[in-house]
Amino acid sequence: MSQVSRDKLVIGNWKMHGGKDENQRRLDALLRHAPERTHGVQIGICVPFPYLAQTEQALRRSEIAWGTQDISAHNSGAYTGEVSATMAADFGVRYVIVGHSERRSLHLESLATIARKARRALESGMTPVVCVGETLEERETERTKEVVSSQVAGILDEIPENLWLKLVFAYEPVWAIGTGRTASPAQAQEVHAHIRELLSSRFTECVRVPILYGGSVKAMNAPDLFGEADVDGALVGGASLDSIEFAAICIAAADRASLISAS
Ligand code: PGA
């Protein structure tokens, strides 16, 4: 839909995988294999909370950013087990995934909670990566756009307008997460264009808000997905555990970014 050029953004989500030694090997491999030419591409890795210090230590001299997979909706207080946005910010976090479908389904997170989490992240100077997407049943009953529209609207309604440009959205069809079943580039593009329209109908500048695709992204399917006009990058789960594969996805994004800047 849009002709505006946006940087590509590739974010890995390690989920609840890893351990100190394994992480170190993964981070070292990522530093070795990530594209040297990062012009037009930003890369981030979202790790489990206990490994933020280790990740900060490993990546702080690199161009690769790091982040968390969730955050508390509260600022501070008696919330046993929760981690606040200011705590994450202490570790140099740039990206905070909020509303991942695993949190929505396993932890019954409501849209209002997700929106508050996004707001907390923004207030602490971090970038929320807000996940939206339909279930298989919703797709099969042709409710994808309706579902995604209400998810996007619920976030925008909670976030002050002057912060909208600091949001990142990730379209993650629930049926494609961890299933090996990717949305086709055309399916992804259709929903991304719809989200783009929703955003820019609220505020034209929102055409710049990155919209990532997530759901079984691999090095093999990344180039085609990145070739779509409104796919600005990827949120990568399983494939981010293999740093060579993840780096190859980042290289596909860098290749796409350089094609766009040359055109
Ligand atoms: P996947 O996960 O790449 O393993 O499908 C994506 C995600 O959960 O963000």
Query: Is residue 70 one of the residues assigned to a domain?
Result: yes
Output the CA 215–ligand 1 centroid distance in Å: 5
d(CA 58, CA 168) in angstroms, rounded, equals 25
Share of the chain above pLDDT 90, in %: 86
**Confidence check: pLDDT of 239 > 80:** yes
Instruction: Show the ligand 1 pocket: residues with CB < 6 angstroms.
Output: 13, 172, 177-178, 214-217, 235-239
Query: Is residue 3 one of the residues assigned to a domain?
Result: no
3-class SS of residue 66: strand
Query: Is residue 34 one of the residues assigned to a domain?
Result: yes
Q: For the chain, how many structural domains are there in total?
A: 1
Please tell me the predicted confidence (pLDDT) of residue 182. Answer: 84
Ligand 1 pocket test: which of 98, 103, 172 has the largest number of ligand atoms within 8 Å of its C-beta?
A: 172
**Confidence check: pLDDT of 168 > 70:** yes
Atom of ligand 1 nearest to the CA of 97: 9
**Domain extent at residue 178:** 8-262
Model pLDDT for residues 40-83, shown as the tens digit of each residue: 899 999 999 999 999 999 999 999 999 999 999 999 999 999 99
Please tell me the predicted confidence (pLDDT) of residue 3. Answer: 54
Mean pLDDT of 3-9: 80
Query: Is residue 1 one of the residues assigned to a domain?
Result: no
Closest to 148 in 3D by CA, of 170, 167, 165, 129: 170
Please tell me the predicted confidence (pLDDT) of residue 37. Answer: 67
Query: Is residue 211 one of the residues assigned to a domain?
Result: yes
Please tell me the predicted confidence (pLDDT) of residue 178. Answer: 82
Query: Is residue 190 one of the residues assigned to a domain?
Result: yes
d(CA 140, CA 146) in angstroms, rounded, equals 13
Ligand 1 pocket test: which of 236, 240, 246 has the largest number of ligand atoms within 8 Å of its C-beta?
A: 236
Long-range contacts, stretch 217-225, CB < 8 angstroms, 24+ apart: 217/182, 217/249, 218/182, 218/245, 218/249, 219/245, 219/248, 219/249, 219/252, 221/182, 222/248, 222/249, 222/252, 222/253, 223/252, 223/255, 223/256, 224/185, 225/182, 225/185, 225/188
Instruction: For residue 252, give the CATH number of its domain.
Output: 3.20.20.70
Model pLDDT for residues 121-141, shown as the tens digit of each residue: 999 999 999 999 999 999 999
Atom of ligand 1 nearest to the CA of 180: 5
Mean pLDDT of 189-209: 94
Query: Is residue 167 one of the residues assigned to a domain?
Result: yes
Query: Is residue 2 one of the residues assigned to a domain?
Result: no
Mean pLDDT of 100-120: 95
- For CA atoms 98, 114, 120, 198, give the dihedral sign: positive
**Confidence check: pLDDT of 1 > 50:** no
Please tell me the predicted confidence (pLDDT) of residue 2. Answer: 45
**Confidence check: pLDDT of 246 > 60:** yes
196, 231 Cβ separation under 8 angstroms: no
Active site residues: 100, 172
Backbone angles phi and psi of 161, in degrees to 5:
-55, -35
